[in-house]
Structure 1
Amino acid sequence: MAQHTIPHFHNTEGLARIDIGAKEFQCVGAKPPFDHPHVFLDMGADNEVVCPYCSTLYVYDPKLPAGSANPESAIFHLEDA
């Protein structure tokens, strides 16, 4: 099975904020079948971005390992699809 080269995150729990260890990623909304179009987000020089579909606030945390999230449950895995 192919692996993601770009981290994917979801907000199935309906959290107000998710801290992530990436500035470029995809938001999938909630886990399928309740996901929205998988949108690529790039923070650029900023340290936060709001998903235009689900309004999740993603905040870059340089202390987190690349591709990780706080909470860890926000990381989307292919087997979740």
Structure 2
Amino acid sequence: MAHSVVPHFHNESGAASIAIGVREFMCVGAKPPFDHPHVFLDMGDGDEKICPYCSTLYKYRADLGPEATDPPGHLFTERAAA
């Protein structure tokens, strides 16, 4: 069975909308410690989804890779514990 990682996106900058290259993803809101519950969102057959916590509008764009965003820099990656 193949497993894929669900990308996590943040909206630290407060962008009105963020274009992404996937339809299934997690929204974390702002970066920790100001994040909201990390919620799984699925656009289904649509091209837009609004996060119910932070109201960020995510828009699907097929020309973007699974970790790319427009505006750039909204991919969330957790730091490994030291």
TM-score relative to the length of structure 1: 0.89
Q: Which residue of 2 aligns with 1:61?
A: 61
Identity %: 56
Measured in 1, the distance between the counterparts of 2:66 and 2:73 equals 15
Q: Check the 8 A contact 1:10/1:76 in 2, yes or no.
A: yes
Query: Highest CA radius of gyration, 1 or 2?
Result: 2
Which structure 1 residue ranges, 4+ long, deviate > 4 Å from structure 2? none
**Residue 57 (structure 1) shift:** 0.1
TM-score relative to the length of structure 2: 0.88
**1:40 lines up with 2:37 in the alignment:** no
Q: Which blocks of at least 5 consecutive residues in structure 2 are unaligned?
A: none
Measured in 2, the distance between the counterparts of 1:38 and 1:12 equals 14
CA RMSD in angstroms, aligned pairs only: 1.5
Would you say how many aligned residue pairs link Structure 1 and Structure 2?
77
Q: Which amino acid aligns with 2:11?
A: N
Q: Check the 8 A contact 1:22/1:68 in 2, yes or no.
A: no
